[in-house]
Amino acid sequence: MNLIDGKAVSAAVRAKVAEETAELKKKGVSVGLAVIIVGDDPASRVYVNNKKKACAEVGFESFEYALPAETTQEELNALVDKLNSDPKVNGILCQLPLPSHLDENEVINRISPAKDVDAFHPANVGHIMIGDYSFLPCTPAGVMELIHSTGVEVKGKNCVVIGRSNIVGKPMAMLLLHEHGTVTITHSRTVDLKSITSRADILVAAVGKANFVKADMIKEGAVVIDVGMNRNEAGKLCGDVDFEDCKEKAGYITPVPGGVGPMTIAMLMRNTLTAAKQQNRIK
Ligand code: NAP
């Protein structure tokens, strides 16, 4: 088994972003990310703080908009409109989930596609579909970096994705397809999941169920990427893959924590830099 070190791959991506950001600064261009958070969900607070910290480390400006839980859709929309036209803001993200009275899709659709560094806007989703994109959604893009770090080529491989969410499973499948993988997407209605996953040369688990993937579900020597971030009965962070069970059989495997998690923020930083370059017409 080879452990895929998400922390190291993420650090390398962030170092490159920091280097390019310093170069842009010399040309008088600064990079700014606006983060909107509505309400006081503790998990969202942690994610937003981590994003602000990552911005500071790579030399971006970050602008936080912490709105009260009772914020109306009109107020949120007005803030998005303001940020869309603010030249100091290159990327905008709205931390999800939003309080239930707010419409997430309305916000996603309102963020300018050029500043949509999460790549959730339908225009950006369409670009990903046709393989002509500026931004990739952060988690699937991070997974691709981890696969690349193994040296295993995706071309011609049997790739299986467990999960079909709009933010992970579906775009993940598309990115593997763009690199010429033969891709199967599985989900909760898939019949005989094990027979499909055990043929995968590359298996990506994005299920949201602790320790769901066991050794008898994977192929000997497979690249196993665990997107899951769950809590087990003891409250400990764990993935969708039973790491202890699978580690000897897998060729390459990501740990949780320290695998996909650190990549998501790194890719957000890269997307924000790309947005700033595009908005300033810099190659
Ligand atoms: P989600 O929207 O809940 O989607 C889960 C998917 O898993 C669904 O498509 C569901 O199928 C499928 N599924 C559920 N039970 C299944 C089963 N028994 N067999 C096969 N498929 C099954 O979750 P998500 O947002 O994609 O996130 C997945 C996991 O990744 C979560 O643990 C989340 O916390 C984590 N995550 C991590 C990061 C990161 O940065 N590391 C980022 C995003 C998400 P149906 O469609 O049929 O319901």
Place of tokens 């803030």: 79
Q: How far is CA 50 from CA 7, 25, 57, 65, in A?
A: 14, 23, 11, 15
Domain ranges for the chain, please list them: 28-112, 138-261
d(CA 93, CA 66): 12
The percent of residues above 70 in pLDDT, for the chain, comes to 100
State in Å: Cα 229 to ligand 1 middle: 9
| Per-residue pLDDT tens over the stretch 210-256 | 999 999 999 999 999 999 999 988 889 999 999 999 999 999 999 99
d(CA 126, CA 267): 19
Q: Which CATH number fits domain 28-112: 3.30.70.520, 3.40.50.10860, 3.40.50.620, 3.30.390.10?
A: 3.40.50.10860
d(CA 111, CA 121): 7
Ligand 1 contacts CB of residue 228 (under 6 A)? yes
State in Å: Cα 167 to ligand 1 middle: 9
| Per-residue pLDDT tens over the stretch 88-134 | 999 999 999 999 999 999 999 999 999 999 999 999 999 999 999 98
Which CATH superfamily does the domain covering 138-261 fall into? Answer: NAD(P)-binding Rossmann-like Domain (3.40.50.720)
pLDDT at 171: 97
Which one of 7, 26, 53, 95 is the catalytic residue?
Answer: 95
DSSP H or E run through 110: helix 104-110
Which of 223, 256, 252 has the alpha carbon at shortest distance from 240?
A: 256
pLDDT at 149 over 90: yes
